[in-house]
């Protein structure tokens, strides 16, 4: 059994098991810390840093979704330094990405008085929409690189490993292995990645086609399942083995 520790968050005491994150301890007090990459049912990787807090005595602002509590810890979730960090992250995201379908981030932009035009010279990430299968599209101009889709496709749920990252820094993008179309990847079209995507980067193809103005008939035609290359190869193998 993990031991109980007592800490203070925003001047209020709380006792929680020692392996609790600061984010979860704050939740017990009803204190909401903004998150972006974090998801309750997925492995937290501390990628976006939107959830940073100030811990007395600590040099840097830890990401509360991964930083664990300790006895006697004193945490502040709304100092000017914290708010400025969150604001800057939001402004950097807004300057390079299309956040029009990220409702949580839109809300935080208001709450933290972030200026989406703060970096007018910033380069926009505008890759083409990838429409390579009948089930869902990938619009990485909206991708906030939260890693949720990669995580749920891998060991958090599906063990399919169809998705991963390529490139680094500004050019980082979620992709399939060797950038193959999804129909040629290990993807089983379970839809779990779409369900955890917070930004509209992954979207059911029918929804996307309706938004593009296609009629119901056209939508049905364009999303009719095709036999995949793997299925055809299997049939061919059977024929060859007869």
For ligand SF4, which stretch binds (CB under 6 A), given 58-66, 70-78, 141-149, 204-212? 141-149
E strand map for the chain: 4-9, 12-17, 54-55, 74-76, 136-138, 163-166, 173-176, 202-204
Is residue 65 within the footprint of ligand FES (CB under 6 A)? Answer: yes
| Separation of alpha carbons 125 and 122, rounded Å | 9
- The option from ligand SF4, ligand FES, none interacting with 63 (CB < 5 to 8 A, set by class) reads ligand FES
What counts of helices (H) and strands (E) characterise the chain? 8, 8
Q: Is 30 exposed, middle or buried (0-12, 13-18, 19+ CB in 10 A)?
A: exposed
Report the nearest approach of ligand FES to the CB of residue 220 (Å).
39
Which residue of 20, 21, 36, 85 would you call a contact of ligand FES, by CB under 6 A?
A: 36
CA proximity to 79, closest of 169, 140, 11, 176: 11
The smaller minimum CB distance to ligand SF4, of residues 10 and 131, is found at 131
| Separation of alpha carbons 174 and 151, rounded Å | 11
Strand-pair category, 74-76 with 54-55? antiparallel
Which residue of 55, 149, 153, 162 would you call a contact of ligand SF4, by CB under 6 A?
A: 149
Residues 200-219 vs ligand SF4: string with x where CB under 6 A?
Answer: -xx-----------------
The smaller minimum CB distance to ligand FES, of residues 53 and 202, is found at 53
Q: Which residues contact 190 (CB under 8 A, 6 or more apart)?
A: 158, 160
Which residue of 7, 14, 16, 48 would you call a contact of ligand FES, by CB under 6 A?
A: 48
Name the residues that contact ligand FES, by CB under 6 A.
35-38, 46-51, 63, 65
Binding residues vs ligand SF4 (CB under 6 A): 143-149, 174, 196-199, 201-202
């Amino acid at each position: 059994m993990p031991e109980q520790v007592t800490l203070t968050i925003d001047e209020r005491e709380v006792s929680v098991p020692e392996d609790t994150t600061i984010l979860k301890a704050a939740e017990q007090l009803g204190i909401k810390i903004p998150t972006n990459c974090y998801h309750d049912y997925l492995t937290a990787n501390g990628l976006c840093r939107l959830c940073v807090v100030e811990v007395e005595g600590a040099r840097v602002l830890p990401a509360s979704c991964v930083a664990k509590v300790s006895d006697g810890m004193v945490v502040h979730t709304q100092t000017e330094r914290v708010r400025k960090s969150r604001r800057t992250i939001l402004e950097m995201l807004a300057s390079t990405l299309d956040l029009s379908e990220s409702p949580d981030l839109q809300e935080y932009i208001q709450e933290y008085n972030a200026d989406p035009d703060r970096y007018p010279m910033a380069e926009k990430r505008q890759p083409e929409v990838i429409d390579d299968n009948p089930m869902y599209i990938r619009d990485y101009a909206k991708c906030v690189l939260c890693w949720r889709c990669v995580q749920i496709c891998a060991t958090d749920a599906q063990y399919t490993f169809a998705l991963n990252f390529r490139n680094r820094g500004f050019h980082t993008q979620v992709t399939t292995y060797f950038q193959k179309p999804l129909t040629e990847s290990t993807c089983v079209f379970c839809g779990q990645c779409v369900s955890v995507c917070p930004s509209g980067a992954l979207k059911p193809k029918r929804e996307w086609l309706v938004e593009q103005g296609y009629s119901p008939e056209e939508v049905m035609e364009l999303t009719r399942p095709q036999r995949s290359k793997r299925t055809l190869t299997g049939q061919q193998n059977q024929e060859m083995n007869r």
